[in-house]
Amino acid sequence: MEATIKRAAQVLPSKRQVEWNCMEFYGFVHFGLYTFGPDEEGEMGAESFNPVKFNPLQWVRAFKAAGMRGLLLTCKHHEGFCLWPSAYTEFSVKNSPWKDGKGDIVREVADACREEGLKFGVYLSPWDMHEKTYGTPDYDVYFRNQLTELCGNYGELFCVWFDGACRSKDKVQDYDWESYYEIIRRLQPSACISICGPDVRWIGNEAGISREEEWSVVPKEIMTTERNPGYWRAIDTVPNSTWTDIGSRAFIRDYEELIWYPAEVDVSIRPSWGYREGEEEHLHSLETLLHMYEKAVGGNANLLLNVPPNPEGLFDEEDVERLAELGEAIRRMFSKSCITGARAQDSEGRDAGALLNGDREQYYESRTEEPFAVEITLDGETEFNLVAIKETIERGQKVEAFSLEAFGEGGWREIYRASTIGYQRICRFEKVRTEKLRLNILKARGRVSLTEVGIYLDAKETALQMMMSE
């Protein structure tokens, strides 16, 4: 095996990255002055902010109903307005009419998340259209102070999410990223630093589109360009997250340093990220959201779905209903497991039962680096149309090509083929009825570790028809 592939096989995730991947699906909330009217130039004042019916429990419960495991709040977006009473600016909720300036949106959302069992994360925009020090070294001090407030005053965070936007016409800020990371690592050691950070990267679009082949092991240059706000100026020559291929064997051969840098798919449930009246008529359909979920969470990425509150501080009922539909559809997808009583062994006759118990602490590992197969014998003839496979990412990402076969009267028949697996690959195909399923690992970067193979009968069409008729 060539040296580059050996190096790639040895790249492993941190504990925080594994925990992040296991979250799979969580929500974004874009909330700020832009919620109360168009503000492209950042000219609205704090007096515009007054969400008179603000109820973070409504947000959190809607996200829980969708099956999300966390909530990420835009504590300060590009307009510079702070949703907490920052000690370092007057441009915050403390000078708004909401609760007579005595309120703290970040505090209430964090408390609601913990009350309902969701993890909480913060978004802090490096770009700031309001702060006068932006574009000078003093801004780094300002930004670090605010980052310290968010990381030190609101309990445990699962994520600190940055945004590399830097579109000021007359000011360019050379962000001191390393000093930002130091604050987060010191105050929130379990939090992933996402987008423009070392832990999680952008998928490369905001449309909910995932790659068919998604690698978590990529060249370090991808992180370097992601945190450079002007990288798109050389988008055809500098490797970045928008490229179709950033992790294949052929691609990584040209790069010396490889890192574990998993992907996050971010998309809004509406056309806009912030609230716009009338967009409730243009929500993504349930079918579209399910497709995004299946391709992201089932394609070695996490899904971050944005839902913008209205000026009253609530999610519109249309959004709440769509989230509930989505959660119900996802639960139905995995509700009918077909592995009860099943047995598994590899092509050498070794027991592979660890794949069927759903315990991440147990896994099956191939004995050699050669292609191999795992045969699963079900408890009698069984009908199914969905298989979810997980690599033991704690031991790296190795699978480059695999297939699934079902046994029938004519022998083994291929029903699915793909490239990567990673944290999870959701395989959907036409319904089959068989007593035996075979997973073939056709190409890999060394010995493969697998932690789970789930087999399901997903009555997807029936479920959707029932929802539409109710």
Render pLDDT for 339-359 as a digit per residue (tens, 0 to 9): 999 999 999 999 999 999 988
Q: How many whole angstroms separate alpha carbon 365 and alpha carbon 267? A: 35
Q: How many whole angstroms separate alpha carbon 69 and alpha carbon 331? A: 14
Specify whether the CB–CB gap between 208 and 296 falls below 8 A: yes
Write down the pLDDT at residue 39.
63
Whole-model pTM: value is 0.95
Closest among 326, 303, 316, 313 to 270, alpha carbons compared:
316
Give Cβ neighbours of residue 309 (< 8 Å, ≥ 6 apart): 29, 31, 35, 51, 54, 59, 275, 315
Q: How many whole angstroms separate alpha carbon 180 and alpha carbon 143? A: 8
% of the chain surpassing 90 pLDDT: 87
User: What domains are there in the chain, each with its CATH number?
Assistant: 3-333 (3.20.20.80), 343-462 (2.60.120.260)
Which of helix, strand or coil describes residue 228? coil
Assigned token pair, 289: 């959201």
Q: How many whole angstroms separate alpha carbon 459 and alpha carbon 465? A: 10
Q: What is the 3-state secondary structure (H, E, C) of 427-469?
A: EEEEEEEEEEEEEEEEEECCCCEEEEEEEECCCHHHHHHHHHH
Which of helix, strand or coil describes residue 31? coil
Write down the pLDDT at residue 2.
86
Q: How many whole angstroms separate alpha carbon 221 and alpha carbon 239? A: 7
Helices (H), 227-308: 249-252, 286-297
Write down the pLDDT at residue 95.
98
**Which residues in the chain land under pLDDT 70?**
1, 39-42, 167, 229-235, 461-470
Write down the pLDDT at residue 459.
83
Q: How many whole angstroms separate alpha carbon 188 and alpha carbon 190? A: 6
Write down the pLDDT at residue 463.
45
pLDDT tens by residue, 65-106: 999 999 999 999 999 999 999 999 999 999 999 999 999 999
Specify whether the CB–CB gap between 8 and 445 falls below 8 A: yes
Q: How many whole angstroms separate alpha carbon 19 and alpha carbon 17? A: 5
Residue count of the chain? 470
